[in-house]
Structure 1
Amino acid sequence: RLEYAVAAARWWPAYAARFSRGATEVALQLDAFVAQASGEDWKDVRLALATAELVQDTRLPELASLRLSRAQRPPRRGYRPAPEGLDAMFEGFDRFVAALPAPAARTRAAPAELPP
């Protein structure tokens, strides 16, 4: 068995889709057109062809997963009036704040005057 790459050879893929009479079935076909200018006889030669660029990295990329489901409406944006009774929701907090003692006046003391 002998394997080697030939720089003077090229190939082109040819794709064909054939639909049934009612277009309910489809058959896909892939053919290859091969040309070479190496001067060698290629009769009965077994070929392996690739659509990948052999000079570049051909590892498959890791694709992010996508969630497929029913389309959803975009969120509503814009102004919406406050719901009724919103003031009653904060009455308890307002009573709490009103019952707090008034803050003492702040004075700046020199560091030596601060209590231990």
Structure 2
Amino acid sequence: MGKNTQIKARNAGSEIHLSHSQVDTPLLDVKSLEHLQQFRPDIVDFVVEQTKKEAEHRRKQDSRMINYTFIERIGALLLGTLIGAGSITGAIYAAMQGFETLATAIATVGLGSLAVAFLRRDKK
């Protein structure tokens, strides 16, 4: 929400204290708007209008990111299904052609890589 920074220094009986606050909310607080109204009354409407535009833009970005995340996850599921089905199909075909060792290797590598990817996906 907000970031506060404070610095204090002392030297031979003298002391200095510096405080800085940074707020990252899209809307100014009421006290700041009242102060701005007293200082520049013409700009308060502009600030409110820009805040509305920024809120709309943030909602669009959130919606877009949710859609992209959904597409990414569905794509990963489909790709994993394709790799698993391909490795099983390849292993069955190789076994039917008489290459049992190759069939074992194809099934082990294909399904093993999916298992490793599944188990290590959260350890980034």
Q: Which has the higher contact order (CA 8 A, sep 6+)?
A: 1
* Structure with the greater alpha carbon radius of gyration: 1
**Of Structure 1 and Structure 2, which has the larger fraction of its residues in helix?**
2
| TM-score in same-fold range (> 0.5) | no
- With the shorter chain as reference, the TM-score category is under 0.3
